[in-house]
Amino acid sequence: MSVDRPRPLVAGNWKMNGLKASAEVLDQIKAGYDDALKGRVDLAICPPATLVAAFAEKTAGSGIGIGGQDCHAKESGAYTGNIAAKMLKDGGAAYVIVGHSERRQYERETDADVRAKAEAAHRTGLIAIVCVGETKDEREAGRTLDVVRGQLKGSVPEGSNGGNLVVAYEPVWAIGTGLTPTAADVAEVHKVIRENLAGIVGPAEQAKVRILYGGSVKPSNAAELMGVADVDGALVGGASLVASDFLGIASAYRA
Q: Which residues form the catalytic set?
A: 100, 170
Reduce the secondary structure of 146-212 to three states and give it as a string.
HHHHHHHHHHCCCCCCCCCEEEEECCHHHCCCCCCCCHHHHHHHHHHHHHHHHHHHCCCHHHHCEEE
Q: By the 8 A CB rule, do 46 and 98 touch?
A: no
Q: By the 8 A CB rule, do 70 and 97 touch?
A: yes
13, β-bridge pairs? 46
Rounded to 5 degrees, φ, ψ at 212 are -95, 150
CA distances from 112 to 118, 146, 254 (A): 10, 17, 38
Packing angle of the helix pair 23-32, 52-59 (nearest 10 deg):
30
